[in-house]
Chain A
Amino acid sequence: MLIQLEDINKTYDNGQPLHVLKGVNLSIEEGEFVSIMGASGSGKSTLLNILGILDTYDSGNYYLGGTLIKDLSETQAADYRNRMIGFIFQSYNLIGFKTAVENVELPLFYQGVPRRRRHEMAMDYLDKLGLKDWAGHYPNEMSGGQKQRVAIARALITKPKIILADEPTGALDSKTSVDIMNLLSTLNREEKMTIIVVTHESGVANVTNKIVHIRDGVIGEIEQNIRHDSSPFGADGIMK
């Protein structure tokens, strides 16, 4: 069991308490390709942030690769994020004044990998994602799809246990969205990478093998989607 959530509760208290996660139980095996689907306000982003150790939870237990992730210092949390988790964001979150290859190198920089070595590795990953010629470009010189592929390369470079993707196609057009989802699918199939995608688009969820529905802070139905036919639009890709 790679990920195990036991009765996770989370309440935001901004003047008025808001109970976002109401006892979430979820297990994810190694090598799974899962999507978490839900409407806005359902708590899916909060759940992803907790999975990514970007946010804390109030009660329950979260095990990642057998380790209890609870009451970590910021330094420990940073270390776990760096070694175990790769993030893909809706808005790419690349650093604007760094070139593509420098962005990809950054997680290795925080691991203390020597300069030359991490440059080589970053170039390898960019090459794999077909961006070798764009290595020296800055994010604002690239298209949305290219930026997201740089972000994927950055997420992969530390060989993490899981990839967490928060609306990875949210800022992309439908054709590019299909490309990115196919890329994630290939990574899952060929590299046995565990990938969790948070989305509200059924077309995106349909690419994944398992769909976890979340509604009002609790896990609802969990669909097995090996045949990729859960979405009425599934067969033809992603509708925008």
Chain B
Amino acid sequence: MRDTFHEIFSTLRQNKLRTALTGFSVAWGIFLLIALLGAGNGVLNALLGNTGMMDTSMSMSSGYTDKAYAGYQKGRYISFNSKDVDILHDESIFEMVDDVSPTLSQFDSLYVGDYYTNCYMTGAYPVLKDINKIEMVSGRFLNSTDIKENRKSIVIGSLDAESILGKGNNVSSLVGTWVRLGQFSYKVVGIFKSDESMGASYATVYVPFTTLSTIYMKGNDIPRILFSFHGMETEEESDAFEAKYLKFVNNNHFTAPDDTGTVYFWNRLQSSRQIGKVVKIIRTALWILGLLCLISGIVGISNIMLITVKERTHEFGIRKAIGAKPASIMKLIITESVVITAFFGYLGMILGLVANQVMDVTMSDKPIDAGIAQVTMFVNPYVGVDVAVKATILLIVAGTLAGMIPAWKASKVKPIEALRAER
């Protein structure tokens, strides 16, 4: 092996310019591949970060009837009631449902000292923390006592807490203090981590369901139910669940059995799966583009190897005359091709990774102000180790392929013809 490398380096040294040009075409191909995939990952990471991938939860809102039925006009507003909630807890009917939280919402004004803001309140049950995967920064989420005693407890988002206290202050100092929401004072029990991609001009807070229902006189109104589930991975299962639940609700509220307007379903798993499909398509497209760049590099090296073989025909004739077997000539050329692609490919890969680093420093995590929301368009523009390994394997395969045809040609030339060839 050492001898083979020695052979290769002495020929490469002979043709420095040619080696450099060949190397450039390979390095450029891999560089573009890595840079492209890195940039693509940057955009995709930002996209996935903004949507919260793989949430196995579902939101259902009550709506208006589409059909006249049993003497009722169409367009009648339907609100969920306790029966609609309780049925979800029945494991014999809806086995896949885990946690269920009816929710209410209400806008009001939030005052903290001189600070004032509009506020979107969600009346929730403690399980909503698990359903919505709410992360606590400080304090606690709502608990069952809050619900039972209609306590005026409030959980505030970390971004809103920052705006209340001013930048640089520790948001946890807000826990245990009192704030005014509409006509009443609430005790701050916790701070949750705000979804930074969903910038809004109002504050977002959670209060106990029962408290909100009582204060704003919602009666038995339940406009929205959130729940988490397990299984239900395919679209068919999801559709089957929706049909079953819709049938129950329609029966419960005297609406037409085939009325689809009464419940709006929003399945986060399904929507994230659809995003996943799009992401997959984009990824594939990026790979194809990258591979096309790489192919130009491979064609480049193949071309150069063909010229090399032609130039070295006489030398191969000498080698054959003194005992080189066709296989050893082939090995010489293929190894040369692999060494060039591997070395310059590695160089290109390193440069590509450096380019990703540059992208990260200059563009990543810089939110773009899109009107009301601050949207991060670029996060972690890196390619993984798996991609680097794949690229390396690809390189070696490419090098072998690029050397194959020229090597085969060289090994086939008869020694007597090779010796006659011009030098």
**Are A75 and B327 CB-contacts (below 8 A) given A81-B321, A81-B322, A154-B322?**
yes
In the complex, what's the smallest C-beta–C-beta distance from B160 to chain A, in angstroms?
A: 74
**Are A110 and B323 CB-contacts (below 8 A) given A98-B10, A115-B3?**
yes
Binding-face segment, B27-35, B291-299, B312-320, B366-374: B312-320
Q: Quick check: is B165 within 8 A (CB to CB) of the other chain?
A: no
Across-interface contacts of B3 in A (CB, < 8 A): 109, 115
Is A110's CB under 8 angstroms from B14's CB? no
Q: A-side binding surface: helix, strand, loop or mixed?
A: helix
Q: Quick check: is B218 within 8 A (CB to CB) of the other chain?
A: no
Q: Quick check: is A226 within 8 A (CB to CB) of the other chain?
A: no
Interface size on A, residues (CB 8 A): 27
Q: Quick check: is B42 within 8 A (CB to CB) of the other chain?
A: no
Across-interface contacts of B315 in A (CB, < 8 A): 95-96
CB within 8 Å of A: which B384-423 residues: 411, 414-416, 419
CB within 8 Å of B: which A66-120 residues: 74-75, 78-79, 81-83, 87, 89, 93-98, 106-107, 109-111, 115
Q: Quick check: is B139 within 8 A (CB to CB) of the other chain?
A: no
CB within 8 Å of A: which B301-358 residues: 315, 317-328
Number of A-B contacts defined by CB within 8 Å:
63
Cα separation A89 to B317 with both chains bound (whole Å): 12
Q: Quick check: is B11 within 8 A (CB to CB) of the other chain?
A: yes
Q: Quick check: is B2 within 8 A (CB to CB) of the other chain?
A: yes
Q: Quick check: is A54 within 8 A (CB to CB) of the other chain?
A: yes
**Are A110 and B322 CB-contacts (below 8 A) given A54-B419, A93-B419, A97-B14?**
yes
Across-interface contacts of B325 in A (CB, < 8 A): 74-75, 78-79, 110
Is B10's CB under 8 angstroms from A97's CB? yes
Across-interface contacts of B328 in A (CB, < 8 A): 110
In the complex, what's the smallest C-beta–C-beta distance from A118 to chain B, in angstroms?
A: 10
**Are A75 and B321 CB-contacts (below 8 A) given A54-B416, A97-B10, A97-B14?**
no
Q: Give the nearest-CB partner of A99 in chain B.
A: B10
Q: Give the nearest-CB partner of B312 in chain A.
A: A95
Question: What mask results when residues 195 to 215 of chain A are scored 1 for a CB within 8 Å of chain B, else 0?
Answer: 000000000000000000000
CB within 8 Å of B: which A19-69 residues: 49, 52, 54-55
Cα separation A98 to B13 with both chains bound (whole Å): 12
**Are A106 and B321 CB-contacts (below 8 A) given A97-B10, A98-B10?**
no
In the complex, what's the smallest C-beta–C-beta distance from A113 to chain B, in angstroms?
A: 10
Is A106's CB under 8 angstroms from B326's CB? no
Across-interface contacts of A87 in B (CB, < 8 A): 321-322
Across-interface contacts of A106 in B (CB, < 8 A): 319, 322
In the complex, what's the smallest C-beta–C-beta distance from A170 to chain B, in angstroms?
A: 15
Cα separation A135 to B10 with both chains bound (whole Å): 17
Question: What mask results when residues 1 to 26 of chain B are scored 1 for a CB within 8 Å of chain A, else 0?
Answer: 01100000011011000000000000
Q: Give the nearest-CB partner of B317 in chain A.
A: A93
Is A82's CB under 8 angstroms from B323's CB? yes
Across-interface contacts of B323 in A (CB, < 8 A): 78-79, 81-83, 107, 110-111, 158
Is B11's CB under 8 angstroms from A107's CB? no
CB within 8 Å of B: which A149-165 residues: 154, 158
Across-interface contacts of B10 in A (CB, < 8 A): 97-98
Which of A74, A96, A154 gathers the greatest number of chain B CB atoms within 10 Å?
A74
Cα separation A130 to B13 with both chains bound (whole Å): 30
Across-interface contacts of B321 in A (CB, < 8 A): 52, 54, 81, 87, 93
Cα separation A81 to B318 with both chains bound (whole Å): 12
Cα separation A83 to B325 with both chains bound (whole Å): 12
**Are A54 and B415 CB-contacts (below 8 A) given A97-B10, A98-B10, A111-B323?**
yes
Among candidates B11, B14, B324, B419, residue contacting A78 with C-beta atoms closer than 8 Å: B324
Q: Give the nearest-CB partner of B320 in chain A.
A: A78
In the complex, what's the smallest C-beta–C-beta distance from B411 to chain A, in angstroms?
A: 8
Q: A-side interface residues toward B, CB under 8 Å?
A: 49, 52, 54-55, 74-75, 78-79, 81-83, 87, 89, 93-98, 106-107, 109-111, 115, 154, 158
Beyond contacts A75-B325, A110-B319, A111-B323: 8 other A-B pairs, Cβ-Cβ < 8 A, are A55-B416, A75-B326, A78-B326, A81-B323, A96-B315, A107-B323, A110-B324, A154-B322
A to B CB contacts below 8 Å, 26 in the list? A49-B416, A52-B321, A54-B416, A55-B414, A75-B325, A78-B320, A79-B325, A81-B321, A81-B322, A81-B323, A82-B323, A93-B317, A93-B321, A93-B419, A94-B318, A95-B315, A96-B315, A97-B14, A98-B10, A109-B3, A110-B319, A110-B322, A110-B323, A110-B324, A115-B3, A158-B323
Shortest beta-carbon contacts, A-B, top 4: A82-B323, A110-B323, A78-B325, A54-B416
